[in-house]
Amino acid sequence: MKKILKYFLLALLVILVLFQLFPKPAKNNSTPFSSLDISRKYPLPTDVARILKSSCYDCHSNNTVYPWYSNVQPVAMWLGNHIEDGKREINFSEFLAAPVARQYKKMADLKEQVEENEMPLWSYSLIHTYAKLSAVQKEVLINWSAQVRDSIKANYPPDSLVMPKRRP
Ligand code: HEC
């Protein structure tokens, strides 16, 4: 029995070592302040900015703050995927690059995600405990997303806010 355990641990070690050979994704760190940053058009109140930065920007901006273990595989690939998927959904650093209809929709999605405790990802909050949103923080984000939606609605014709139907 002891022997099996020894082989098992050894195999695990070999796998971990081999994993280190996988190339790591490029770091998500670019020009700090893009002209397409959400705050260029929709000013971020201090509390909103603080919440987004501490709970969302690691996966939804162009600048991730990497923990040391992000250099260890397979964690590096795993985090890389989260960042890639997160940015594809909503990237606050380039929010203004999206068509208005998408911006409008994403702010509704944000409200939904926050209300349903879907964001930040639970696996992330497990380690980044400070990122978990309090009831007050959730309310701040939800109210802010409504304000952004109002502001978009006030400035663009209604038909520009409708997401184009996906082609069959
Ligand atoms: C650890 C990475 C991570 C963090 C931190 C994170 N997200 Fe996400 N987010 C993702 C990923 C991955 C997706 C896409 C897959 C999914 O929906 O689960 C996503 C999707 C989204 C979407 C789109 C969902 C949809 O249905 O269209 C919104 C909006 C969103 N996140 C908002 C936030 C907000 C707001 C925060 C901070 C409170 C946040 N996220 C924190 C990784 C993250």
C-beta 111 within 6 A of ligand 1: no
Query: According to the model, what pLDDT value does residue 32 have?
Result: 74
Sign of CA dihedral 46, 51, 57, 60: negative
For residue 166, the model assigns a pLDDT of 74
Rounded distance from Cα 106 to ligand 1 centre (Å): 11
Judge if the beta carbon of residue 137 lies within 6 A of ligand 1. no
Q: What is the pLDDT at residue 91? A: 97
Q: How far is CA 97 from CA 42, 91, 92, 115, in A?
A: 13, 9, 10, 26
114 Cβ inside 6 Å of ligand 1: yes
Question: How far does the centroid of ligand 1 lie from the alpha carbon of residue 50, in Å?
Answer: 17
95 lines ligand 1 (CB under 6 A): no
Residue ranges covered by each domain of the chain:
24-161
2 C-alpha to center of ligand 1: Å? Answer: 44
Running along the chain, 168 residues long, what does each successive block of 10 average in pLDDT?
Answer: 91 94 92 88 95 97 93 93 96 96 96 96 92 96 97 92 79
- Write down the residue that tokens 């969302």 correspond to: 56
34 Cα to the center of ligand 1, angstroms: 20
| pLDDT in the model for residue 2 | 86
Tell me the pLDDT of the chain averaged across its residues.
93
